[in-house]
Chains A and B, each alone.
Chain A
């Protein structure tokens, strides 16, 4: 029983991190129909900026977790730069396929650029561990990091939902994702909206980076690649383009992964994650909560 609860809690924690990342994927996909492969690497950018700023914060006497603020700023800037320098020019000339290939290339640029910076280098670095204490409830050990991860994720997701539903810019985002031309006619600045979306998505990745390194205190340049792929699978699973879908998919992937780790074998967990993805896509090609949009001729 304790194993079961432990596995559920681990799954919930992993799932919350995946969900935060998946939200970024899903927002960008909803608005420009592009799988932003570089999104995983925004986590790496966030991870390194946390690695460098946490010690500075601690020295000055500010709590270490506040380092997430500069990390969010750095990530958002990187996200907007990627959109400006790579995606926008390609979107003008190319089709979906060329945009997708650009995204893959951009992910490699970020990973290898980070390695080429001397202060970062190819070797993994160990950041300062935050929220290391654990509490025990009825024999189940729960770390502070777990509680904070789940709580913060829930708050952010709720806030994001209200932001997209109620605020002006959120409304503009929904408009652009529905019909770009009509949005332009309604006086919405499409490029401006896309940039803001990239900024918010990348900022969420910075928060996810904080949660992730609180649990696994290690940063390295390819850390975003696998995390990003899981989160992307989560976004597709839930129905890409749908915010609640991304959360649902993230939690599902987290729980499946931790279940496979606990009960079967840790080296097989990848297989189960992809198997679930494939089965869901076979049955519901648009994902669990996605809308199936017919093709216009």
Chain B
């Protein structure tokens, strides 16, 4: 089959991105009450889950290092953006959540959240990335815990700060926190951030830097021998990943309008925690950004419908009991995926719009090769 030209691929993707953005704008301007109460908040949640999963994939899938404290960077971003917006509001820079002044604040909060998380990622990464594998996992876990613990103990943003009391309502009333109406109105912001972040991440993994970090993943010693500065690229990837995690913090603050550090812990009951982000990356495919996006959306939908969906009620009673503990379902699913597809469902393949016409051919060739394998095995068994 003829290879689609690179230019055509870019055009198709650009058109798809524009379509997505236009859709977000249209939803923001029209839309009924279901849209406002259910779908828009879900879309906001999806937006930060997608970026979280994709940014962790940079470290876990492309660099091959397990980081268990990814939500710590999100927490830093969320608190930095919230405090910044509250400070500007108190200084009288903006009074209502619209107009050019607020747009500027929103833009700056994204940048500040990303920059503070990236700075922390750099500080954490330089010492931590000297270690490998299991040790790196545990040290990032430790850093994640320290970050959450420190935020809890800071007088102006801890347990008595943004999560409860006056500061929380302040965030909702005057800071970044959006009401359902504003979530509708600013849905395009979430769409734009997702599109921009994903584009930059794609550009990163396809650049020469991306090739270098994949070389490090495949064989660190060989990469170093061919002149790649291993620790430099490791720290750089870690920092970039932290930057995007910080940006999701702002999305989180906008979406939830109240912050508490338990939301960013190593584990908790909700869908957002450092472990669950790892689950998303692994299920989607380590080394496939589109896989992460798909896994984030699918797992979010699964989580949402397990809690609110009608189809659960139609299941037999014992399955309903199991579904009251969604984490049980996810973790068993994770083990099954790891057993049968150690590199995740998508592996390191990417989903491309231009490839959809080729799917039938791929699927038939996949089954043909499976059939060949089977007949070869049979033949071998016959001979043996």
Contact = CB atoms under 8 A, between A and B. Distances in A.
| Chains A and B belong together in one complex | yes
Interface of A: 29, 33, 35, 86, 89-90, 93-98, 100-102, 104-106, 108-109, 111-113, 115-116, 222, 225, 229, 232-233, 236, 240, 265, 267-268, 270-271, 274-275, 277-278, 281-282, 285, 295, 297
B342 A94 contact: yes
B176 to A, nearest CB: 27
B327 interface: yes
B328 interface: yes
B133 A97 contact: yes
Interface in B37-52: none
B275 A274 contact: no
A37 B210 CA distance: 31
Given A102-B338, A106-B335, A271 B325 contact: no
B142 interface: yes
B142 A277 contact: yes
B145 A274 contact: yes
Closest 4 A-B residue pairs measured CB to CB? Answer: A112-B328, A274-B142, A108-B331, A94-B342
11 contacts: A93-B342, A94-B338, A102-B335, A108-B327, A109-B331, A109-B332, A112-B331, A225-B267, A233-B142, A274-B142, A274-B146
A281 B338 contact: no
Contact of A93 (B127, B131, B146, B339): B339
Contacts of A278: 127-128, 139, 142-143
Query: Dominant SS at the A interface?
Result: helix
B66 A271 contact: no
A35 B137 contact: yes
Contact of B330 (A100, A108, A115): A108
Contacts of A270: 145-146, 149
Contact of B135 (A94, A106, A236): A236
B146 A267 contact: no
A274 B335 contact: no
B221 interface: yes
Contacts of B146: 270-271, 274-275
B150 A271 contact: yes
A143 to B, nearest CB: 29
Interface of B: 64, 66, 127-128, 130-131, 133-135, 137-139, 141-143, 145-146, 149-150, 152-153, 221, 266-267, 275, 278-279, 282, 321-322, 324-325, 327-328, 330-332, 334-335, 338-339, 342
A263 B199 CA distance: 50
Contacts of B133: 96-97, 100
B268 to A, nearest CB: 10
Contacts, number: 117
A141 to B, nearest CB: 30
Nearest to A104: B275
A122 B331 CA distance: 18
Contact of A229 (B66, B141, B322, B325): B141
Nearest to B282: A101
Nearest to A236: B138
Nearest to B341: A93
A150 B279 CA distance: 39
B335 A98 contact: no
A236 B130 CA distance: 15
B335 A268 contact: no
B139 A281 contact: yes
B328 A113 contact: yes
A93 B331 CA distance: 19
Contact of A98 (B221, B330, B338): B338
Contacts of A116: 321-322, 324-325, 328
Nearest to A113: B328
Contacts of B141: 229
Given A108-B331, A274-B143, A275-B146, 8 more contacts: A35-B138, A93-B339, A236-B135, A240-B134, A267-B152, A271-B149, A274-B142, A281-B139
Given A268-B149, A270-B146, A270-B149, A106 B331 contact: yes
Of B64, B66, B139, B322, most buried by chain A (CB within 10 Å of CB) is B139
B149 A267 contact: yes
Nearest to A270: B149
A143 B135 CA distance: 37
A158 B334 CA distance: 39
Contact of A277 (B130, B139, B322): B139
Contacts of B150: 271
B137 A100 contact: yes
A19 B330 CA distance: 32
B139 A112 contact: no
A295 B221 contact: yes
B131 A281 contact: yes
A101 B149 contact: no
Of B143, B221, B282, B331, most buried by chain A (CB within 10 Å of CB) is B331
Contacts of A113: 325, 328
A268 B135 CA distance: 23
A104 B334 CA distance: 10
Nearest to B330: A108
Given A106-B335, A277-B139, A285 B130 contact: yes
B145 A35 contact: no
B131 A105 contact: no
B135 to A, nearest CB: 6
Nearest to A122: B325
B135 A281 contact: yes
A9 to B, nearest CB: 26
B77 to A, nearest CB: 20
A295 B230 CA distance: 16
Contact of B325 (A100, A115, A233, A281): A115
A248 B103 CA distance: 55
